[in-house]
Structure formats: structure tokens, C-alpha cells
Amino acid sequence: MKQRILLVDDEPGIRASLKVVLEPTYEVLAASNGAEGLALFRRESPHLVLLDIIMPGEDGMALLQTMRAEAPGIPVIMLTATKTVKSAVGAMKLGAADYVTKPFDVEELRLIIAKTLAAQALEREVHYLRAQVVSRYSFHNLIGKSQSMQEVYAKIEQLADTRTTVLITGESGTGKELVARALHYNSSRRDRPFIAINCAALPDTLIESELFGHEKGSFTDARMRRVGHFELAHEGSLFLDEISEISPAIQAKLLRVLQEREFTRVGGGQPVKVDVRIIAATNKNLADLLRRGEFREDMYYRINVVSIHLPALRDRREDIPLLAQHFLAKRLVDEQHPPQEFSKDTLELLTKYHWPGNVRELQNVVEQASIWCRGATITPEHLPSSVRTDSHAPALRAGTLEGRLTLEKAVMEFERQLILDALKRTDFVQVHAAALLGISRRMLKYRMDLLGICREDAGQPPDYLGASQ
């Protein structure tokens, strides 16, 4: 489909010649005056406008202002005689994309039109991608209905559009960077950079240069000036992940930046002013590090202005099915994969597992299970053995420590579940189940009789939570 160009010029000869030149490549709409041109502009929504400056009635300058006010995304190229070049420069100040002088150089005109349309397409793509990023990291898209996560959402909404330094705490894999991005992309800084740096991944010899940049010749390998993360994040947000890993010496330099909003590049002498919002994160208890002298007190109080704590996944088990289904749906879309769903037993196992790697581990497990599943339903056999065998341990442990189960009953129930899992995986073929467990078929039969296991148990989840002593 050809792109539409609206030509507004009162000279019939100009209109006719430009149509001949442009129509092999573009669809050309022509108007002989401002009123006719504005009507076509509003009705046809052209991709670009060629607009004469001097016309009877409403001149090109007035029409340019109207067009820019109504549709600022449509570029306008001004057509001008040599004697009105000064007016064309004025039009550029009013928002015209470019200007061309009469008589036209045909190749120059084609080049300017192609360049302007390409720039417009790039600008549209940038706006689209930016909108996609903002939408992706909207806190409304964070998954979780638990009370603890609702509190997290409320804090993000309240803190997003402020300059306040935020400290995000929580175990590894709980989604601290996702919250940091939500804070940035829901703020007025959303169109400026979000720069993330993992402080634990850089040695002290590099982290200062990474944060503040360096001047040419400041050390052996400094062959040219390098801009650091603070400069890259100017007017945006800088996310310092695992900030607890920064040495006290670097903490002192970082503290100065936070207080003065300026820094000096390594090997430099001139201070550099920056406007950066700091979002920090850690999976350690900074108060404990403070007491042990491993974290500066002044730095602690500077970054811990307000904090958001992300709960471990095991502490919000009601969110696990939602997250699992979200990750599965995302993978199916990304891979253009046929529909899949979790069986009820699978979701029960996922919900009971203790998830030491938190949300990140859950996402990996869901992806693995989807890969191993050849059909439409993901069943327990598609889950890693660690998830299948460990899912009941937390409940057994809790039941024992709370006095609802004796140690002997807890051990027996755990053994019972292991044997049941092996039998389910082998369709209750005892020889195969015994081989899977590394015992003889006779020993398996003995343990099944002792624990009261029969085929009917395959569909019954264990009731050890309500067992009595």
C-alpha cells in the first residue's frame, strides 16, 4: 500500500509536475488552497504534507500551525521560493520537518521525502515500543492476589512518581528488579533511561569506573573517556542490585553522589551534575551488616528512606497457581505453542513445594514441564523430581513441630508419598516402581502393605495435615 502525500500549492503547474514526479512511489492528494488542503488533511490523514508558504487566503504558515496542533505526528515539508527562505526557517521553528526551495531538484525532493517518512516511521516505532515497555512494567501487571502482594502494589503506586530513594528487600528470585522497573515506568521518568547494575558481579577495581566513568589515561587500559552508569541514567533511574556487596570505600563515594547529586569521573577533576533516582535492592539483612560493621551507617540511612519487602513465594502460596498459569501462558504465546494446561494434581504439587529459588525457580520449572509435556495436560510426571518429592515436606515438618504428628508418623507419611509417586509414574507396575526407588519388588510390596497403599490411593491426596498423634 502506497503512503499518502498531501500537496497544498496554489500553482497548477507545481501540482501537476509534483504528481508526475511522486506518483510512481506515493499516492498524491492535491489541494489548490488552504481550506481545501485542511479538509483533505482531516479526512485522509496523510503520511506527509508538502505545503506552499505563500498562497491566497490562508497562507502556509497559518495552515502549518493548525496541522501541527491537530496532528503533530504528521510531518510537514514547506515549499518556498528563494526569496522566502527566511519564512521557511521560521516555519521550521513552528514544527515543520524540512523545507525545499523552488525550482525543485527532483532527486533532492525525493531524498528529503524518503528521509522524513523514515524518521516518522522510526519515531512511531519508538513510541510504540516505549508504550509496550510501560505497559509491561505497569504494577497492575504484577501477579499476585495475596495480602502481602497487595501491600507491595499499594507502595509502588504511592512511591512511583516521587524522587524518593527506595530500598527493595527480599530473597533471591522474588522479583526485586521487576518492582524497580515498575517504580520507574510508572513515574514521570518513564521516558528516560532505566539503568541496572549488579553490584555483586563487579570487583571493587571495576565498580567505581562502572558507576562514575573514567577519563582517558586514568589507568592502564583507559584508552578513551567512558561514561558511567550515573551519567547514562541522567534524568532517569539507577537500579543498584545487591547493594550490600559494595565495599565501604565505594559506599563513601556513592554516598557523596546521593547527597550532592554530583560526582567526578575516575581520573577526572571536574564534577559532573546528575539528576538520578536511586532504587537499591538486597537479599541480605542490612541491619545485621550494620551491626557487624560491614555496612556504613550513614549509607544505610541514606538508601533506606522507604523500603518495599517482597515476600518469599512459600509465604504467599495462594499466588503460586496464578503465577504458574501466567508463566505457562506467556511461554505458549512466545513459542507459538499449542494450548497446554496444568492438571489439578500438578497445581497441588506446585503449591506445596517450598520454592527456595522463589518466583524465578517457579518460572524455570513451568518452562521445563511445558517442554517435557508432549500433550495438552501437564501432569506431575513432567515436574522435576525435587518438586514431586519435596512438596509434602513443609507440611509434614509443620505438622510435626506443631504437635499434630509424631516423628514416626511423619516419616511414614513421607515414605508413603514417595512410593505413591513412584507407582503413579509407572502406572502402578510394581516391578518398575521398585526399580525407580532402588529396592526389590518384594520390599516394595511389603512397604505397601505396611503403609496401606493400594491402587485406589492414586487419586487421593494424603491427609497428613489433619492426622492426630
Q: Is the alpha carbon torsion for 311, 316, 320, 326 positive or negative? A: negative
Write out the E strands in 76-225. Answer: 76-81, 98-102, 166-169, 194-198
Domain span at 224? 141-311
The Cα 262–Cα 274 span in angstroms is: 6
Considering the domain architecture, whether residues 282 and 183 belong to the same structural domain is answered as yes
* CATH number of the structural domain spanning residue 340: 1.10.8.60
Q: Tell me whether residue 386 is in a domain.
A: yes
Establish if 300 belongs to a structural domain. Answer: yes
C-alpha cell at 379: 501432569
Q: Does 409 lie in the same domain as 375?
A: no
Residues 290 and 164 in one domain: yes
Task: Establish if 260 belongs to a structural domain.
Answer: yes
Q: Which of 311, 340, 357 is the last residue of a domain?
A: 311
Output the tens digit of pLDDT for each of the chain's 469 residues: 789 999 999 999 999 999 999 998 999 999 999 999 999 999 999 999 999 988 887 788 999 999 999 999 899 999 887 666 677 778 888 899 998 888 888 889 999 999 999 998 888 877 666 666 655 655 556 788 899 999 999 999 999 999 999 999 999 999 999 999 999 999 999 889 999 999 988 887 788 888 988 888 777 676 787 888 999 999 999 999 999 999 888 898 899 888 888 888 888 778 889 999 999 999 999 999 999 988 999 999 999 999 999 999 989 999 999 999 999 999 999 899 999 999 999 999 999 888 888 999 999 999 999 999 999 999 998 988 778 766 556 566 666 777 767 888 778 877 887 888 788 778 788 998 888 888 889 889 989 988 888 865 544 444 433 333 3
The CATH number linked to 94 is 3.40.50.2300
Do 430 and 367 have their domain in common? no
Q: At what angle do helices 344-352 and 358-372 cross, to 10 degrees?
A: 150
382 and 402 in a single domain? The answer is: no
Whether residue 13 sits in one domain with residue 38: yes
430 and 353 in a single domain? The answer is no
Q: What is the CATH number of the domain that holds 184?
A: 3.40.50.300
| In a shared domain, residues 202 and 73 | no
Single out the residue in 363, 390, 417 at which a domain terminates. 390
Q: Please give the grid coordinates belonging to residue 153.
A: 502494589
* Nearest residue to 428 via CA among 446, 454, 407: 454
Alpha carbons 236 and 53: distance in angstroms, whole number:
40
Q: Point out the domain boundary residue: 390, 418, 434.
A: 390
Can you tell me the distance from the alpha carbon of 316 to that of 174, in angstroms, rounded to the nearest whole number?
Answer: 11
Q: Which residues pair with 377 in a beta bridge?
A: 341
Please count the structural domains in the chain. Answer: 4
Residue 105 lies in a domain: yes
The answer to the question of residue 274 being in a domain is yes
- Phi, psi (degrees; rounded to nearest 5) at 388: -65, -40
Using an 8 Å Cβ cutoff, are 241 and 234 in contact?
no
160 in the same domain as 274: yes
pLDDT at 467 (0 to 100): 37
> What are the φ/ψ torsions at residue 378 (nearest 5 degrees)?
-85, 120
If asked whether residues 181 and 240 sit together in one domain, one would say yes
Whether residues 166 and 228 share a domain: the answer is yes
Residue 136 is assigned to a structural domain of this protein: no
Task: Judge whether 236 lies within some domain.
Answer: yes
Rg (CA), the chain: 33
Residue 364 lies in a domain: yes
User: Are 298 and 447 contained in the same domain?
Assistant: no
| Residues facing residue 51 across a β-bridge | 8, 78
Which pLDDT does position 229 carry in this prediction? 92
